[in-house]
Amino acid sequence: MDGRRLGLPSLRVDAMYCALVAVSLALVVVPLADALSAPPRGVFTAAVAVLGWAVLVGFGGPIAALRPRLMLVLGPTSWRLR
């Protein structure tokens, strides 16, 4: 099976749910910060970081760079891509 045919959609799905989490965090910054006894700026920073991760994973480079991005997302299971 072609890894690109499977890998690219997998990265896109990962990017979509990360973006959804980032938007969700941004929408509930104040209540979540109160619940965690954390500063709202910290929760907002986490939302921005998750959105940055979504952009990196979803649009991190050309198709040639697909393997390193998959290895980054898969982590310990990436030995199968080597």
Task: Tell me the C-alpha distance between 18 and 57, whole Å.
Answer: 9
41-78, pLDDT tens digit by residue? 999 999 999 999 898 888 776 555 667 777 777 776 65
Helices in 1-82 by DSSP H: which ranges?
A: 3-27, 29-36, 40-59, 66-74
- For 14: left if phi > 0, alpha if psi spans -120 to 50, otherwise beta; the answer is alpha
pLDDT at 18 over 90: yes
Render the burial of 11-22: b for 16+ CB within 10 Å, e for the rest: beebbeebbebb
Residue 28: strand, helix, or coil: coil
Q: Percentage of the chain with pLDDT > 70?
A: 76
